[in-house]
Structure 1
Amino acid sequence: MSQSYSPSLLTTPTYINVTNPEDDSVVSNDVTTTLGALILGLVFLLGVPGNLFIVWSILARTRQRSVTTLLILNLACADGILMALTIFFIVYLAKQSWVFGDAMCKGVFYLCNSNMYASIFLITLMSVHRMVAVVFPRKAKSLVTKQIVRRAIIGTWVLVMLISIPSLVFRDLRVDLDEKRMKRLVCAPNHTEARHVRFQYTLETVAGFILPYSVIITCYVLILRRLRQTKFQRKVRSENLILAIVVTFGLFWLPYHIINMLQVAAEWCKNGSKAKENLDEISKNSRAVTSCLAFISSCANPVLYTFAGKSYIKQSGFAFMARLFEGTSLDQTGTKKIRGQSKDLAESSSTGTPPLRNGK
């Protein structure tokens, strides 16, 4: 839940008015703030314990940690941090005033932005890993070692901390005058130029959604092509699980990025034009709700894992999640089967004879 903001070198909050849509507080609409607070409250109750349970299951109960498990661990950490931050926004929406000071105003939104990038980048790494394991099964062990994956994960966290700096810089604590001319502190965007709006929101959507999803879609197209070539029909557990994570993330974040692009489009419109007024109005009224919906994706993953591992619940109790994650290491079984079928396919191509099936 991140927006674009400008730095403040002032020791006290500045005054703003409500005539410019960019200055409108995200807590200025009673209906959207109430709905947003309810959504975030539910997200907090589900997301924090859910992601903590995932982290505990992997660190304390999972004996065999596959590459997928390492990526899920980092994703749960990113989601857990994001869920823990929702308490600040619940208070913000409830009080309709930011009571945590300027440093927390910048820091909380910076962490939110960082974890947004971390989530999608880690999901992208999962997709790339599955693509390598299925499309290049013979090279998978040399291309995707745990050491390489750990370096990739560290590099990902460094990248997200750097790419999120604009959300730290373009953020300010100010005094807002509402419709009744009452004063309240808001942690909101304060762009001084239209190009700042275009830069921040375009960066978020391109780097945090369009480019990663292009890579993800490409990976799954290659996976499906490979599976059809080898006629490999067995469902791999982590394949379906990762695909569910990808789809869920996209569904909940898409409205947020659509609003981003509408706000960017508004900045290209002529000042005072009807088109600009309409786009600004849509962005202003939808920003809080779409941001809250984006938070849901981080509490949805524990629910997905629970459904994926429900067959282990009766047998393993609270250890069912660990059994699920240990099962991701069995993906190599599917990889070996693909490797064997790939070999049969290659032999049949060179000899002109159909591949053997079940020894026949």
Structure 2
Amino acid sequence: WIRENPSFISAETTPDPDEENAVKNNYSTAIGALIFSLVFLLGVPGNLFVVWSILARCRQRSVTTLLILNLACADGFLMALSIFFIIFLALRTWVFGNAMCKIVFYLCHSNMYASVFLITLMSVNRLLAVVFPHTLYRLITRKVVRRVILGTWVLVIVMSIPSLVFRDVKGVRFEYAFQTVAGFIIPYAIIITSYVLILKRLRETRFQRNFRSEKLILAIVIMFGLFWLPYHVVNMIRVCKGIFSTNNPITTSNLLHDIAESTRAVAAALAFISSCANPVLYTFAGKSYIKNNGFAFMAKLFEGTSSETETKTTAQKKKNKQTKCT
């Protein structure tokens, strides 16, 4: 939402006359700055603690743990970038130059895609562990997981290139639509499908009920969706605004423009909350370990994802043996 500020647009670009100020709403700006400040103070140390817990204290690293590690790296880096937006909202102008504007948005979008894709991989991994424990899930070795994660980072680096290329008004609208479809609608369609199949399988097998991994990942999925939904809604409002500006009366375009302008600072700040919420979520999920494990409580929580996978596989084997005996 900084990109439309005239100070960020190059001389070759013709700005939309309706977009002469990136932060017109004082109330929205103040709330946005406050939220960005809070997520910076909580998100950076929180995600660093998650990374430290996994690398220094976690002895058994399951697939879920490796994905959480990469998610914490993406979230922590995104939280560090929030300092730029805090300064922007405080000063009401971008003081870091056009090149830095491109770089910051490129990094933000890269980490946005990384977060949602890693969460999608978590859901697919749980699907394979629950529904196909003896076939497809056995193929998921540590080597395969590392290659998939590396491929995911390469993919998000490529997908974020439009942040550097599309700088005119039409390009920006294309990018908004692309972000929403590729970074929200498609991943969440995969996630919802995965959890529908998981829940169906859980109802069929008694021994697979009430495992912490499913609950933890489902909580991550729900929180990410809730906090990012307003951002993508604003994106689509801006896309619709561009369509109405050419095909309908100017009053409709102005109305959509006013709605987007008055809400985008808060919507962007809410999206950042999702990246600092995960460490808080892990803390609540692992609070039963705090008394006995101290600062290693989070590592103990993540190690549980390994033992749960083994428990499911062992239980399935026992069930198969009992079936054969009868």
* TM-score, normalised relative to structure 2: 0.92
Question: Larger C-alpha radius of gyration, 1 or 2?
Answer: 1
Structure (1/2) with the larger strand percentage: 1
The residue aligned with 1:67 is: 63
The yes-or-no answer on 1:54 pairing with 2:31 is no
The residue aligned with 1:176 is: none
Query: Residue 232 of structure 1: SS of its match in structure 2?
Result: helix
The residue aligned with 2:301 is: 324
For residue 226 of structure 1, what is the amino acid of its counterpart? Answer: R
Instruction: Using the TM superposition, give the Cα deviation of residue 325 of structure 1 relative to its aligned residue in structure 2, in angstroms.
Output: 1.1
Instruction: Using the TM superposition, give the Cα deviation of residue 141 of structure 1 relative to its aligned residue in structure 2, in angstroms.
Output: 4.5
For residue 220 of structure 1, what is the amino acid of its counterpart? Answer: Y
The residue aligned with 2:218 is: 243
Instruction: Using the TM superposition, give the Cα deviation of residue 326 of structure 1 relative to its aligned residue in structure 2, in angstroms.
Output: 1.2
Query: Residue 32 of structure 1: SS of its match in structure 2?
Result: helix
RMSD of equivalent CA atoms? 2.5
The residue aligned with 2:38 is: 42
The yes-or-no answer on 1:125 pairing with 2:121 is yes
* CA displacement, residues 238-274 of structure 1 (integer Å, 9 cap, x when unaligned): 1110000000000000111111112212222225333
Structure (1/2) with the larger helix percentage: 2
The residue aligned with 2:17 is: 20
- Unmatched 5+ residue regions in structure 2? none
Q: Distance in 2 between matches of 1:66 and 1:278?
A: 50
The residue aligned with 2:196 is: 221
* CA displacement, residues 42-69 of structure 1 (integer Å, 9 cap, x when unaligned): 0001100000000011111111111111
Instruction: Using the TM superposition, give the Cα deviation of residue 82 of structure 1 relative to its aligned residue in structure 2, in angstroms.
Output: 0.3
The yes-or-no answer on 1:303 pairing with 2:280 is yes
- Identity across the alignment (%): 61
Q: Match for 1:287 among 246, 252, 264?
A: 264
Q: Distance in 2 between matches of 1:9 and 1:273?
A: 26
8 A contact 2:28–2:265 mirrored in 1: yes
8 A contact 2:9–2:98 mirrored in 1: no
Give runs of aligned pairs for residues 44-123 of structure 1, distance below 5 A: 44-123=40-119
Query: Residue 162 of structure 1: SS of its match in structure 2?
Result: helix
Q: Distance in 2 between matches of 1:3 and 1:314?
A: 48
8 A contact 1:263–1:283 mirrored in 2: yes
Question: Structure 1 residues 5, 332: closer, same or farther in 2, change over 3 A?
Answer: farther
8 A contact 1:43–1:299 mirrored in 2: yes
Q: Distance in 1 between matches of 2:201 and 2:259?
A: 43
The residue aligned with 2:158 is: 162
Query: Residue 302 of structure 2: SS of its match in structure 1?
Result: helix
For residue 237 of structure 2, what is the amino acid of its counterpart? Answer: L
Question: Structure 1 residues 271, 245: closer, same or farther in 2, change over 3 A?
Answer: same
The yes-or-no answer on 1:314 pairing with 2:310 is no
Q: Distance in 1 between matches of 2:3 and 2:99?
A: 16
* TM-score, normalised relative to structure 1: 0.83
Give runs of aligned pairs for residues 250-261 of structure 1, distance below 5 A: 250-261=225-236
Q: Distance in 1 between matches of 2:198 and 2:144?
A: 21
Query: Residue 24 of structure 1: SS of its match in structure 2?
Result: coil
More displaced 10-residue stretch of structure 1: 330-339 or 60-69: 330-339
The residue aligned with 1:272 is: 249
Q: Distance in 2 between matches of 1:44 and 1:50?
A: 10
For residue 204 of structure 2, what is the amino acid of its counterpart? Answer: Q
